Structure 1
């Protein structure tokens, strides 16, 4: 039987966030914004209320402060919190908004949504089933963050603090002192591929071969599938540049506000984010033909000298961005150095594990998203499932 959502859920607008600082998270329409020392919700679902994040949903099982650009959704009797979160996720709330220039989702809209709610025991089985998938995704992300931090920490120890080098230091081309055995060369003097891809005239199409743009070169393991773009299969087959084979270093090439360029780097592979895909003209693919040295370069380019070099050069352009000369001019430690080689060998299984976890997360997310509407509609019966 269809019933109003308001029978099971209490909706309230959030309030302007406090100035005070603390450990209690402050939620807005795009997730955690800050931390404070007071709460206005003990647990519930946070819903984006206004703007670009209108209709977003976040499950919160702890006390928090919900800001004035979000709505609190709290369970009444006979409503499971986990089920409420997945129910709201399945309702495509962003499509129920009003307004054009400033999208808005109101309590009135939410209260008057009609739904069919199963008994509490069934709700809990549905939420438990979906939570198993989300918990595995969360665990993989935690493992990946830990592994990347380990690799970054060791890189800093060896190639910023130079702890393994028990030798004299000499002047370097970048104006710092480095171990005399750690030779520096410009990227342009090393054998490498540096190229972009492209999209056809008229831009991306609705289906075809995935094409990654600068918006998805943020950091290792991060891709926004909602922004997916495609190029025609025939167009991709004729391209001689821009295909991603895996473990190449991706550089954010151009974009941003005039006068400001913020470098970003990423790496794809092991079927993440797609088995077969290309980059567009706003992304550089840098490949030294050596997975380990590409991974070394991922961390190296985030250190002060190369990062600032790219930021400064990119910010000078009329349209913020870097060119091939900017990249080829960067000084880097020679890949033949024994300690560089040792790091490259050590870091390879780290990146492989991270990328395989990312690939698994894509499959788990697809499974969850396929199950969600079927479980919510009752098409899949979970009454006999033991969780």
Structure 2
């Protein structure tokens, strides 16, 4: 019987002294735990010139302490690692790393159950060392790593592409409806950047009363967006459901809906934007645009959602871009009331926040330019859900030897 210690080196983190940690880029980037984890690689917020333990580029970063024990990321550079992390690397090189991750994922539930500390779980170096390793030859290890790595990389590439598309849509919203960049350019006698003549013609070349573009009106978000629209679901019916944890802190893709018997809750349709209204979810950015309700017209979810739906003539991208805009979020947070530990934003107050209301043709053009972006983002999200489910299916079978590499590649080709 072989163990993880026989094929991998494990470095347990050790935190540097507090006076040697900095928020400026001085020394090595420091990771204390999954707070800095991204979808694939960390995003450091601290640095230290006194690293006690280090992860090297390509290492698997594994959280060993607290409620997030078991979360993983890949090191895209060298890092100093604190007590909350371990760095794990295959002794034969980086190309085997996805196989190492597969070993850990296949045994993760047992590892977490064995973690010491009822309120503060802790995975020890010995526990990691003694994870059983399948009897795979180096060739099989590399082949399995290649399959798992390819799936992970495809999922990450889709995520990055979707993030870029979303950034473009949000930047367009900000430019047109908040900063009024096309109007400012035309007022200076310039052609608006990255805009064709037909679109540019929709914008005036001067500002009018109240500093708004000429022809635009002063209004509220309620003029453009319907908040918590009324829907009807029969009590006791099985209906697609989304809970709070399904909403991401960044990106518009929620976890898949699942059927649940309706009791009472917030109701929504595909294309609606869901905004978490409760502390700390609003501050953390939990938001999504509803995509797939399993063929149903109406779904339901947490009472802590605020539903934002485009009014007629308003593209569905606009409520989402509003919900993700930092100025809006600050104003939404300012509407929160209740006890300090359970504050909620108020939908009615949010609907009354001031905004510039553009002519219909400007809204139409915004919809025409953002609709293909939104469609592609949702397509990437659905593909990633399929790929993740396939990976979850293949992983235990590959590790146990139930499924051979060639058969796994055939299954992937059927999905691709």
Give the TM-score band, short-chain normalised: 0.7 to 0.9
- 2:106 corresponding residue in structure 1: 90
- Partner of 1:181 in structure 2? 215
Looking at structure 1, the residues matched to 355 and 158 of structure 2 have their Cα atoms a distance apart, in angstroms, of: 32
Distance 2:166 2:130 in 1: 46
Does the residue aligned with 1:358 lie in a helix, a strand or coil? Answer: helix
- 2:231 matches 1:231: no
Distance 1:74 1:183 in 2: 60
2:276 matched to 1:252? yes
Pair 1:47-2:49 in alignment: no
Unaligned runs of 5+ in 1: 202-206
Alignment of structure 1 residues 208-223 onto 2, 5 Å = 209-213=240-244, 216=247, 218-223=249-254
CA contact (8 A) 2:147 2:409 kept: no
Distance 2:252 2:224 in 1: 27
In the alignment, the residues of structure 2 paired with residue 300 and residue 74 of structure 1 have an alpha-carbon distance, to the nearest angstrom, of 43
CA shift in 2, pair 1:307/1:3, >3 Å: closer
Residue 48 of structure 1, CA deviation: 1.0
Distance 1:384 1:122, change over 3 A: farther
Alpha-carbon spacing, 1:24–1:344, altered in 2? closer, same or farther (3 Å):
farther
Aligned counterparts of 2:385 and 2:345: Cα–Cα separation in 1? 31
Query: Does the aligned pair in 2 maintain the 1:27–1:46 contact within 8 Å?
Result: no
Displacement after TM superposition at 1:44 (Å)? 2.3
- CA drift of 1:65 comes to 2.4
28 and 383 in structure 1: CA distance in 2 versus 1, 3 angstrom threshold: farther
CA distance 1:61–1:347, change in 2 (3 Å)? closer
Aligned residue in 1 for 2:181: 163
Cα RMSD, aligned residues only:
3.6
> Deviation digits for residues 293-330 of structure 1, max 9, x if unmatched?
3312322344465433311111x333311233213212
User: Per-residue CA shift, 1:129-148, capped at 9, x if unaligned?
Assistant: 11221111111111111111
Residues 3 and 133, structure 2, Cα contact 8 Å, conserved in 1 = yes
1:8–1:353: structure 2 CA closer, same or farther, 3 Å change rule? same
Q: 2:83 aligns with which of 64, 68, 89?
A: 68
Q: Which residue of 1 aligns with 2:332?
A: 310
Which one scores higher on RCO, CA 8 angstroms, separation ≥ 6?
1
Please state how far the C-alpha of 1:347 moved relative to its aligned partner.
0.9
1:223, distance to aligned residue in structure 2 (A): 3.9
Structure 1 stretches of 4+ moved >6 Å? 196-201, 383-387
Shift in Å, 1:46? 1.7
Deviations 1:158-191 (A, max 9, x none): 222212224332444xxxx211312132344568
1:293 aligns with 2:308: no
* Match runs of 1:189-200 below 5 Å: 189=223, 192=226, 194-195=228-229
Q: Equivalent residue for 2:148?
A: 130
State the Cα deviation string for residues 97-153 of structure 1 (Å, max 9, x = none).
111011110011122222323011101111111122111111111111111111222
Using the alignment, how far apart are the partners of 2:12 and 2:85 within structure 1? Answer: 6
User: Which of residues 163, 169, 186 is equivalent to 1:145?
Assistant: 163
User: 1:151, 1:208 → 2: CA distance?
Assistant: 31
Structure 2 unpaired stretches of 5+: 184-203, 411-416
Q: Cα gap change, 1:365/1:313 in structure 2, threshold over 3 Å: closer, same or farther? A: same
Partners of 2:27 and 2:162 lie apart in 1 by 25
Contact map agreement 1:288 1:294 (CA 8 A) in 2: yes
Q: How many residues are aligned here?
A: 365
Query: Equivalences for 1:276-355 in 2 at 5 Å?
Result: 277-290=299-312, 293-303=315-325, 306-314=328-336, 316-318=337-339, 319-334=342-357, 336-355=359-378
Are the structure 2 counterparts of residues 242 and 290 from structure 1 closer, same or farther at C-alpha, using a change threshold of 3 Å? farther
Report the Cα distance in structure 1 between the residues aligned to 2:258 and 2:408, rounded to whole angstroms.
Answer: 38
Aligned to 2:10: 11
1:169 is paired with a residue whose SS is coil
Q: Distance in 1 between matches of 2:313 and 2:160?
A: 23
1:204 maps to none
Q: Confirm whether residue 26 of structure 1 aligns to residue 30 of structure 2.
A: yes
Whole-angstrom distance in 2 between the partners of 1:170 and 1:5: 70
